[in-house]
A and B are shown apart, each in its own frame.
Chain A
Amino acid sequence: AQSVTQLDSQVPVFEEAPVELRCNYSSSVSVYLFWYVQYPNQGLQLLLKYLSGSTLVESINGFEAEFNKSQTSFHLRKPSVHISDTAEYFCAVSEGRGSTLGRLYFGRGTQLTVWP
């Protein structure tokens, strides 16, 4: 089974500042990586995912994440945040094979708060 660590539970930043939300997982053997976002009073939505190929993946709203196999990390970044990015962000991992195929393992989440 995987474990996922999100090192920061709260990240406050000012509008237009860059941000990095950190995520590490326990094993680099055949994993797929995801970031989900939960806006206030809404359900979880997929932000971006890494399956294979280029280690840098991007979302449509300017976030990007880079898969680093040697450091077992999948940090989420945005060069300039907006107030509308205020939400909770969850990193998740699934294993590419075995009895837990398809199951997502989640980190505890990082609350990003963007101040004007």
Chain B
Amino acid sequence: GAGVSQSPSNKVTEKGKDVELRCDPISGHTALYWYRQSLGQGLEFLIYFQGNSAPDKSGLPSDRFSAERTGGSVSTLTIQRTQQEDSAVYLCASSLEASSGNTIYFGEGSWLTVV
């Protein structure tokens, strides 16, 4: 597609429920990133995938968070047993490859509200 596509754009869920957020990167981009943007915390790195390499999961805040990338394209971020502090905008991004000089393109985000 023309840009990074994320769904849903908005999600309200009850505390304790699981949620799945989807990201469709720009066609041909081998690197895919998840970030979280919340008030007072700025932009936090969560995880990134580069081709078939093992993902860098070092930013995931707890074991309730997981992500997978199927077929080297679409990615799903899963949050289990959601808590109110999980409320944030979850941003997906992609780039041609995980090289520091490549521009990283962001989607418009999935706004998650846990009530």
Contact = CB atoms under 8 A, between A and B. Distances in A.
Contacts of A94: 100
Interface in A77-103: 90, 94-97, 99-103
Interface stretch (A20-28, A44-52, A58-66): A44-52
Nearest to B3: A43
Contacts, number: 57
Interface residues of B, number: 27
A103 B33 contact: yes
A104 B45 contact: yes
Given A43-B108, A51-B101, A102-B99, A108 B42 contact: yes
B84 interface: no
Given A43-B107, A96-B100, A103 B45 contact: yes
Interface residues of A, number: 25
A96 B108 CA distance: 27
A108 B100 CA distance: 20
Contact of A42 (B35, B56, B98, B108): B108
A83 B42 CA distance: 24
Contact of B42 (A43, A49, A106): A106
Contacts of A90: 42-43
In order of increasing CB-CB distance, the 6 nearest A-B pairs are A102-B98, A108-B42, A106-B43, A43-B108, A44-B106, A94-B100
Interface of A: 32, 36, 42-46, 49, 51, 90, 94-97, 99-109
Given A36-B106, A103-B98, 17 more contacts: A32-B101, A42-B108, A43-B91, A43-B107, A43-B108, A44-B91, A44-B106, A90-B42, A94-B100, A102-B50, A102-B95, A102-B102, A103-B45, A103-B56, A104-B33, A106-B43, A108-B41
Interface of B: 4, 31, 33, 35, 41-43, 45, 48, 50, 56, 91, 93, 95, 97-109
